[in-house]
Amino acid sequence: MKKNKTTTHTKKQDKTQTEKKARQIKLGLDVHAQWIVVVRQVDGATPQPAQQYGWGDFLRFATKQLTLAEEVYSCYEAGPFGYGLHRQLEAIGIKNVVIRPMKLDPENRGVKTDRTDALELCAKLDRYVAGNSKALSVIRVPSEEQELARSWSRQREQIQEHRKRWEAQGRSLLLYYGIRGCGQWWRGLQWLNLQKQLSSALTELVRPIQQETLRLFELEIQRTRELSDPDKPRPIGYGALTQEVLTREMQDWQGFRNRRQVGSITGLCPGVSASGNYRREGSVTKRGRRRVRTALIELAWRLTRFQPDYQPVKEFHHRCRASSSKAVRKKAIVALARKIAIDWWRMATGICTAKDLKLRMTQ
């Protein structure tokens, strides 16, 4: 009689093994209006081939990565899409950074596509996560309130640009017919006097431009009043609008650790070319925030008139008296604008007061 074989194993072996989580996953993102190109790198392995997703599919893909690794990092360049994607990624638990737009073909190979951009971003993100803070130029993301406040002041600037464009178009049209429109030709008595020189046909041609220019001007004035707070104390010459624009563009003065960071974000620091014993200072870097730079230059010219006891203004006049060169005057006003930004940061953070800087205040 055949005996049944007895098995020595008393427990059934589980053939299914739980997959081990990766330590880190890095995602380089090249963002577009219709899709997002993604390059993924798991730990220190070679980056995987690029994949293209629609926005909804990408968010589902990104959420899945959180189940595959202990930490998930991503980065993309700042651009026309704002910070909505950043906030969505942060909300689901991904550590995202938004970086300054940069050249993503460092070797000048002449090949630049969405896939190569995403690959380069992933490679830079890998170095950044490993501890190389210089690998990426990370942008400070504003809060939704700060972003909305900044958009209001920027909209006023856009309205002003549109108004100037329409004004120039009308002036060009008048000049074509031998009539010179000077100044605000579209407004008040100037428009009434100008109409006397125009034929009925030319008046009908110019009138829509005049009306649109006037409408934009009135909207610009309305936005200016909404942004300005005339009752807010400030040094004489600063201007209610300038103060508000700079506050909204700089977002948070407390976020700067030292005066070098303040000067750098204005883009008013001189560029340097140095090698060995050779050293040459060039033009300003123009990095950072363009609107801040413009507002500071305008403010600097005003303070040369209204704040004669302010030490940087005294230095400006001293440099201008020493040389009649226009180049020296331009360099001096740039230096003054940079010092104004640093002193404004000092006042905003409580390091010093306007009285300490000998700035006369509004009543």
d(CA 71, CA 26): 9
pTM > 0.85: no
What does the pLDDT look like over 76-88, one tens digit per residue?
Answer: 999 888 899 999 9
Residues 6+ apart with CB under 8 A from 183: 190
Give the percent of the chain with pLDDT over 70.
94
C-alpha of 282 from chain center: 23
pLDDT of 2 strictly over 60: no
pLDDT at 78: 93
What does the pLDDT look like over 63-78, one tens digit per residue?
Answer: 999 999 999 999 999 9
pLDDT at 108: 81
Confidence of residue 252 (pLDDT cuts 50, 70, 90): confident
What does the pLDDT look like over 308-324, one tens digit per residue?
Answer: 999 999 999 999 998 88
d(CA 31, CA 74): 12
Specify burial of residue 37 (Cβ count, 10 A radius: 0-12, 13-18, 19+). buried
- Report whether 118 contacts 50 (CB < 8 A): yes
pLDDT of 114 strictly over 50: yes
pLDDT at 13: 43
pLDDT of 11 strictly over 70: no
d(CA 349, CA 336): 20
Which is it for the CA torsion 61, 66, 67, 68, positive or negative? positive
pLDDT of 225 strictly over 80: yes
d(CA 247, CA 239): 12
- Report whether 25 contacts 42 (CB < 8 A): yes
β pairing state of 69-77 and 22-31: parallel
pLDDT at 359: 93
Q: C-alpha distances in angstroms, 239 versus 31, 152, 251, 258?
A: 39, 18, 18, 25
CA dihedral 122, 124, 128, 132 (to 10 degrees): 160
CA angle, 163 then 101 then 286, to 5°: 65
d(CA 47, CA 45): 6
What CATH class has 22-135?
A: alpha beta
Q: Of residues 232 and 151, which shows the higher confidence score?
A: 151
- Average pLDDT of the residues of the chain: 90
pLDDT at 282: 83
Spell out the domain ranges in the chain.
22-135, 144-227, 240-348
pLDDT at 65: 95
pLDDT of 336 strictly over 60: yes
What is the pLDDT averaged over residues 136-151?
A: 92
What does the pLDDT look like over 191-209, one tens digit per residue?
Answer: 999 999 999 999 999 999 9
Neighbour count for residue 242 (Cβ, 10 Å): 17
